[in-house]
Chain A
Amino acid sequence: MKKIFVILALCAALQISCNKESFIFDRSASERIVQTLDDYRSALMDGRTWVMEYYPDPDQSYGGWIYIVEFRDELTVKAWFEGSTFMSGSNLTLESEYAIDFSTGPMLRFSTNNDYLHYFALPGTNGYQGLRGDYEFTLMSLSPMRDRIELRGIKTGNRITMSPLSDEYTPESYLTAVRNSQLAVNRKLLKVIVNDQQIGTIERTSTAYLYDFAEFAASKRWTLRYSYEQPAFDEQGLPIFETVEVSDFLSVIHLPGSVMKLYEPYIFKGDAAPFLKDQTMREFEWRLGVTSADDSYTCTDSFMEIKFVP
């Protein structure tokens, strides 16, 4: 009798295991991959001409650069580049092939040589690693309106974004506007003003000189310096305030309308001004004052009133 119970229990267990077949997804993994790739392909072709905000180098040491990329068909891409001003040669390859395929995730690859798109990756005159620029990207996300694609560089891990080129611009006029945004500001040193109080400075080694890569790139690297007090203890264990000096590197990209945008929001480390700690800033607009001394980069996305002024 015991045996019968054992057999029945076994049967019940087997029955349960056989009935476990249920599906979380309504399509196979392969079909879902193909669907994802198709979504990106069709979005690229629908948007057709995209503004790419691109950062080479794992530390973003050369600042951010604008590419305009036009996906002409399923195979061909044409590129325009903010830095074309310092590239010489009449026979540059600007139209090349691209591919959307799947590796560890959906990927966009610029798969045959393009002198603009591969400028930062080319080893040689710029060092044995070139300028450490990606040309293969993981496609991280596509916005619901299909008007923003976020990518991540395979080698650098840098975040790159693409959005469709507005109808008011041609690729050339957009890049001219980007360059003009930089030429409008010829200062290397600016004061950092928070709520009408100077807390420090922001400095770069070069203004935007369009015809030399090193100087052009140096204009996109700022060093932010400020100091703040923080509670500490002296050698006797008594409470004191100590001064912390901050010197942080900021990598920026420029957009039309005299806009300068940091690679990522900067988070203030201490109360250099009241309640400044943990406040963020990212996007600035160069606004003209009554005199040039009143011009300023004014932050447009902070709760504090933050300006960089001459």
Chain B
Amino acid sequence: MTHIMKCISGYSFIFLLLGAFFVSCSKDEPSGKSIFVDADEQSRSEFDKWLERHYIEPYNILFEYRMPDRQTNFGYWVTPPTIDKSIEIAKLIRFGTLDAMTEMYANGDPQRDPTLFAKMYFPKVLFMVGSFEISNTGAVALGSAENGLQINILGVNFFDRNTRSVDIIGLLAHEFTHILAGTRPVTTEFKAICEKDYVGDTWTSAGNDYLQLGFLSNYGRKSDGEDLAELVASYLTHDQAWWDGQMALAGASGSAKLEEKLSITMAWLDSGFDVDMAKWRDVTVRRISEIGSIDWQNLDD
């Protein structure tokens, strides 16, 4: 025994033994069959197949219309959307937002993937809620963005394609701007232009002089983040004549501030995301004028 112990030191012997045991323990090989069974297997409707073709395949976006209530804000009581209204909203967002971004981003270069901008930055979940979120003060929320991953569209059951289509495209642009700003912040010069006129939650009781102060809506006075989102959404959904009209109403001081903020925003989108904001606006406005051509019911395309 003394002889053996001389040949193999105590520690080597221990490691040898441990090694042997590890070999024996690693005999537990997987059978090849996963323990995870797809528990979410559910019949797919024609609408699901349409969403697969127009949202998942090109953009990798989940259009969630079977609203799991547990994923909504539990501070509110909300209800799910109807399928008919969900289809209309899906058609509208595809035409007026996602495909508009793709058309805008295409520059003729075959090496450039025109869907890249939407794929990279647009949130991966669009979450439909049938009712609005109403707070105990009676404030009604129309939409919200969550952590850059999800945009919630509220009040889907009250959607009227003849009167609210532009609102929805604007809402998407507004919430998407929050997500872009979260990815690459806009320069601090933007905030400095109207800094003293941001009023937080008291925007609801602010006067009607927002244009003269350099804002496109009273809601923009809530914070620089909302100001930016309001500016992008309003700009993208209106033509140049509308902008010129707003500048005339804003007066010298207000229009100077708005033009300066627009200039900073255009530069931010260009340098941060390689996006031509004026072209994006032209595409969006043209598509808004063509909304009547959408086939709202057909799911065969």
Contacts and interface: CB of A to CB of B under 8 A. Distances in A.
Do chains A and B stick together as partners? Answer: yes
Interface of A: 1, 3-4, 7, 10-11, 14-15, 18, 21, 28-31, 33-34, 37, 73-75, 93, 96-97, 99, 101-103, 109-113, 118, 121-124, 128-130, 132, 135-136, 154-155
22 contacts: A3-B10, A4-B1, A7-B17, A10-B14, A11-B21, A18-B25, A21-B28, A96-B83, A97-B66, A99-B42, A101-B39, A101-B42, A109-B66, A113-B85, A113-B130, A121-B77, A123-B77, A123-B78, A123-B79, A123-B132, A136-B70, A154-B70
Interface string B69-99: 1100010111111110110000000000000
Contacts of B131: 121-124
B-side interface mostly: loop
Contacts of A132: 77
Contacts of B21: 11, 14-15, 18
B69 A136 contact: yes
A7 B9 CA distance: 12
Interface stretch (B133-141, B271-279, B283-291): B133-141
A34 B39 contact: yes
A118 B131 CA distance: 10
Nearest to B18: A14
A130 B77 contact: yes
Contacts of B39: 30, 33-34, 37, 101-102
B155 to A, nearest CB: 10
A31 B37 contact: yes
Contacts of A15: 21
A155 B66 CA distance: 18
Contacts of A124: 131-132, 134
A47 to B, nearest CB: 19
B219 interface: no
Contacts of B28: 21
Contacts of A111: 66-68, 80
A101 B17 CA distance: 48
A230 to B, nearest CB: 41
A7 B130 contact: no
A284 to B, nearest CB: 32
B129 to A, nearest CB: 10
A157 to B, nearest CB: 13
A74 B65 CA distance: 17
A28 B14 CA distance: 36
B263 to A, nearest CB: 41
Given A15-B21, A33-B39, A136-B68, 13 more contacts: A1-B1, A14-B21, A18-B24, A31-B37, A97-B83, A101-B39, A109-B69, A112-B65, A112-B66, A122-B77, A123-B77, A123-B134, A128-B76
Given A112-B82, A113-B80, A75 B42 contact: yes
Contacts, number: 119
Interface in B166-190: none
Nearest to A134: B69
A74 B77 contact: no
A30 B17 contact: no
B86 to A, nearest CB: 8
A75 B68 contact: no
A97 B44 CA distance: 11
A97 B128 CA distance: 15
Interface string B11-49: 001100110010011001000000111011011010000
A107 B66 CA distance: 14
Nearest to B130: A113
Nearest to A1: B1
B69 A30 contact: no
A74 B41 CA distance: 10
A128 B68 contact: no
B152 interface: no
Interface in B226-277: none
Contacts of A121: 77-79, 131
Given A31-B37, A113-B130, A123-B77, A74 B82 contact: no
Contacts of A96: 82-83
Contacts of B218: none
Contact of B135 (A30, A37, A103, A128): A128
A292 B269 CA distance: 80
Output the residue of A75, A111, A132 with the most chain B CB within 10 A: A111
Nearest to A8: B17
B259 to A, nearest CB: 40
Given A11-B17, A118-B80, A128-B135, A34 B37 contact: yes
Nearest to B21: A14
A130 B42 CA distance: 30
Which 5 A-B residue pairings sit nearest by Cβ, starting from the closest?
A111-B66, A128-B134, A28-B35, A118-B79, A113-B82
